[in-house]
Amino acid sequence: MEIDPFIFRLSIFILSIFVGYYVVWSVTPSLHTPLMSVTNAISSVIIVGAIIAALSGSDGVVFSSSSIYGFLAIILAAVNIFGGFLVTQRMLAMYKKKKKDK
Amino acid sequence: MSANLSAILYLVSGVLFILALRGLSSPETSRQGNLFGIIGMIIAVTVTFLSVGNFSSGFIYVLIFLAIGGSIGAFIAYRIPMTAMPELVAGFHSLVGLAAVFVAISAFINPSAFNLGTPGNIKLASLIEMAIGAAVGAITFSGSVIAFLKLQGIMSGAPITFKGQHLLNALLLLLIVILTIYLCSTQSANLFWILIAVSFLIGFLIIIPIGGADMPVVISMLNSYSGWAAAGIGFTLENTALIITGALVGSSGAILSYIMCKGMNRSFFNVILGGFGATDQKSQSQNKEQRPVKSGNADDAAFLMKNASSIIIVPGYGMAVAQAQHALREMVDTLKKNDIKVSYAIHPVAGRMPGHMNVLLAEANVPYDEVFELEEINNDFANADVAFVIGANDVTNPVAKTDPQSPIYGMPVLDVEKCKSVLFVKRSLSPGYAGIDNDLFYKENTLMLFADAKKMTEDITKNL
């Protein structure tokens, strides 16, 4: 009997929830704001769906009814990717240790 | 590019995202973690281009739109002040939600591009995943927009409640389920549009009854939703990178919501059902009589501080509003020159989002090893000479430990009153967000400093 590929994806999903659970508990509370901005940036990997949608038009027709939604989604996701990673970087650069030389 | 190779590369990018979060376990490794995240994203985008393999004129447009969105994002990231981080994150969540809705719509209109069947004959499983992705995405979008407006002050932070609110929400949720079932049997485009519209509405209705100080929970919750929306779309697209990321973000947001709720000693449902400040007016209205308060000026505060050997600073949302973090750091620098030990105590729900205070202090160049969480520092208050409360209120209220009638009873609070003396910077005696009087104001050892937080801090520095 063959296993539906959906089951494999579901397994990945469930296991990832557990990975996320343990990884996030180990995040230090002082970095919870960067955690939110970086999770925000990585969830914009939804851009892969947007790209597929945007390139779905047939030859010669770049903007079809479905590809327009793809293009719009690309803009939104791109704002998030660049904005999210850059603002995280900006925040993390500010976290400094006490200087040893007193 | 073969389907197997691209699937493996998507897996690699998913693993890199896990490492990105792992890096945040300490500030030293966090920057490297962020880099892993960026590499993961580059891999995912490149693989998608190669596997679609369509480098016609459409590809150029994709790059153009990518550049437009990217420059807007980069511009915002460099310009945004750190105090506005909660608004920014709420705004960004709304974009993820809307992007999920758009991708779902596109997949519904043109399923063959995603190998999901033909219009009107979409595979059942895909249709369910699509509907879930679109619905959760739409809820994330409208919810985040409301959260953004409330944080930005465009919309009042006060909870908006009306009769039958919970019943209406429950009916709408039921409607979403029914619509999804009908959608699966009829494949009707109209039902799909109605489903999205109802989801937008419910996102709006869920967030309006939640008040300003509950925003840390709301933002974390929307963070979680944006992850589940991404995961839903990931199932539709059969894409492991999206499924892994969605699960990570979803559980991350859920954990943060849990931590925030625990910080307020309230259940998640209690927060979501809303209307905190509005419901508990009775317990404090009877003791409205004027109680004596000691108030002082910057001179008195500076005198107390100069004679102290250890000081604990308790920052709160008021510090963010007054933008007082830099002035505070300067004050602390002066204190340290006088060999006074200074540390910072941060309550889990101080500010408007998890970790809000830590970022502001980091911005003001406060070393992170001087900043402590509630459990780490709470025992030290008894040994400290001065507690300097700046912009915090409810999180210091001893009533949470003593009065079972109080709405905040049981909430973990900072034991500020155990200090030899307490300096409380506040504009007036008005109660905090929870609408309850703070007993700390009337303690013998408390000196109230009525002024703007930034102005007062600067004045104290001058007097030191």
Min Cα separation B422/chain A (Å): 25
At residue B157, what is the residue type?
Answer: G
Q: Which of A12, A30, A82 is facing B358, going by the closest CB pair?
A: A30
Q: Which candidate in B6, B24, B151, B339 is best for mutational testing of the A interface (most A CBs within 10 A)?
A: B24
**Cβ(B248)–Cβ(B18) under 8 Å?**
yes
**Cβ(B103)–Cβ(A69) under 8 Å?**
yes
At residue B261, what is the residue type?
Answer: C
Residue B252, pLDDT above cutoff 70: yes
Min Cα separation B279/chain A (Å): 30
Asked which of B68-82, B122-136, B423-437 is least confident by mean pLDDT, the reply is B423-437
Tell me the pLDDT tens digit for each residue of B121-149. Answer: 888 888 999 999 999 999 999 999 999 99
At residue B393, what is the residue type?
Answer: N
- The mean of the pLDDT values for chain B is 87
Residue B276, pLDDT above cutoff 60: no
> Could you give the CA distance from residue A1 to residue A31 in angstroms, rounded to a whole number?
48
Tell me the pLDDT tens digit for each residue of B89-122. Answer: 999 999 999 999 999 999 999 888 888 888 878 8
Encoded tokens for B220: 């974390």
Encoded tokens for B350: 């101080």
pLDDT of residue B225: 92
Q: Count the alpha carbons within 13 Å of B325 in the hemisphere toward its beta carbon.
A: 23
Vertex B25 angle, CA B21 and B28, to 5°: 105
The residue whose two tokens read 């995202």 is: B17
Q: Which of B14, B73, B355 is facing A83, going by the closest CB pair?
A: B73
Q: Which of B41, B80, B102 is facing A73, going by the closest CB pair?
A: B102
> Could you give the CA distance from residue B237 to residue B51 in angstroms, rounded to a whole number?
13
> Could you give the CA distance from residue B332 to residue B314 in angstroms, rounded to a whole number?
13
pLDDT of residue B283: 42
Say if the Cβ atoms of A70 and B103 lie within 8 Å.
Answer: yes
Cβ contacts from A onto B, under 8 A:
377
> Could you give the CA distance from residue A73 to residue B429 in angstroms, rounded to a whole number?
48
**Cβ(A51)–Cβ(B45) under 8 Å?**
yes
ipTM higher than the 0.85 cut = yes
Would you please indicate which residues of B are annotated as catalytic (active-site) residues?
394
Tell me the pLDDT tens digit for each residue of B304-333. Answer: 898 889 999 999 888 988 889 999 999 999
**Cβ(B40)–Cβ(A44) under 8 Å?**
no
Min Cα separation B395/chain A (Å): 17
Tell me the pLDDT tens digit for each residue of A40-99. Answer: 999 999 999 999 988 876 666 777 888 899 999 999 999 999 999 999 999 999 988 776
Q: Is the dihedral of CA B170, B172, B177, B178 positive or negative?
A: positive
Q: Which residue of B has its CA nearest to A83?
A: B73
pLDDT of residue B22: 94
**Cβ(B119)–Cβ(B111) under 8 Å?**
yes
Say if the Cβ atoms of B24 and A31 lie within 8 Å.
Answer: yes
Encoded tokens for B265: 């000693």
The pTM for the full model equals: 0.90
Residue A101, pLDDT above cutoff 60: no
**DSSP code of residue B295:** B
Vertex B232 angle, CA A66 and B180, to 5°: 80
Contacts of B219 in chain A (CB under 8 A): 36
The answer for residues whose C-beta is within 8 angstroms of residue B273's C-beta and 6 or more apart is B166, B209
Say if the Cβ atoms of A35 and B219 lie within 8 Å.
Answer: no
Listed residue (B215, B225, B203, B76) closest to B152, CA to CA = B215
